[in-house]
């Protein structure tokens, strides 16, 4: 099994938008979102615009061998541009528990050495366990977990740093 990150081209954006519905669906468990009157979970696709307008926003598809397995959206954190931020991260259920997410994180972090953070909803204890394990695979125990405000939510933040 080979995990690869492929930068998303502008003309592939619709694929990301389609996958994002599944991400929203998964997050609805914690955010208590409901589908709209048509039975769809909606979001504003213009939120992706920055990924093709700014150099500090980088979108990737995650592939396992030749299969699309998810995405990771990386950016510089708006309130601290010295820090890379995993804005959104999604692995299709088919690939969960196989090390795909951990390998994808390792690849993206290795591509951008420096200060990193990952934000996790307080209610998502499974994600917190995953992220702590994934980060420790990269930096050992040299990371810290805290709680802080992110826009309008209190979230867990995992902070760590890698060196080139």
Q: Give CA–CA dist 58/72, Å, rounded.
A: 9
Written as one string, the DSSP assignment of 76-118 is EETTEEEEEEEEEEEE-GGGTTTTHHHHHHHHHHHHS-SEEEE
Q: Which residues contact 102 (CB under 8 A, 6 or more apart)?
A: 130, 133, 134, 137
- What CATH number does domain 3-161 carry, 3.90.1280.10, 3.40.630.30, 3.40.50.300, 3.40.30.10? 3.40.630.30
Three-state SS for 97? Answer: coil
The confidence band for 163, taking pLDDT boundaries of 50, 70 and 90, is confident
pTM of the shown model: 0.93
Average pLDDT of the chain to the nearest whole number: 94
For 76-121, how does the pLDDT look when each residue is reduced to its tens digit (9 = 90+)? 999 999 999 999 999 999 999 999 999 999 999 999 999 999 999 9
Q: Where exactly are the structural domains of the chain?
A: 3-161
Q: Which tokens sit at 111? A: 């591509």
| Other Cβ atoms closer than 10 A to 12 | 13
Q: Name which of 20-29, 75-84, 117-126 the model is least confident about.
A: 20-29
Three-state SS for 143? Answer: strand
Three-state SS for 25? Answer: helix
The closest alpha carbon to 30, from 125, 147, 160, 124, belongs to: 124
Q: Give CA–CA dist 143/159, Å, rounded.
A: 6
Q: Give CA–CA dist 82/16, Å, rounded.
A: 26
For 30-47, how does the pLDDT look when each residue is reduced to its tens digit (9 = 90+)? 777 788 888 887 888 899
């Amino acid at each position: 099994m080979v995990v690869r990150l492929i930068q998303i081209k502008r003309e592939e954006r619709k694929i990301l938008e389609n996958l994002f519905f599944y991400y929203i669906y998964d997050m609805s468990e914690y955010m208590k979102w409901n589908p709209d009157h048509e039975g769809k979970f909606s979001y504003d696709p213009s939120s992706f615009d920055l990924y093709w307008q700014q150099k500090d926003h980088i979108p990737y598809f995650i592939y396992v061998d030749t299969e699309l397995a998810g995405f990771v959206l990386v950016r510089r954190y708006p309130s601290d541009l010295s820090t890379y931020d995993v804005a959104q991260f999604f692995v299709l259920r088919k690939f969960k528990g196989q090390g795909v997410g951990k390998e994808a994180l390792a690849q993206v972090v290795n591509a951008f050495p420096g200060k990193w953070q990952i934000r996790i909803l307080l209610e998502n204890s499974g994600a917190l366990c995953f992220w702590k394990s994934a980060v420790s695979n990269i930096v050992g125990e040299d990371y810290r977990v805290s709680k802080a405000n992110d826009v309008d939510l209190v979230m867990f933040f995992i902070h760590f740093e890698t060196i080139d």
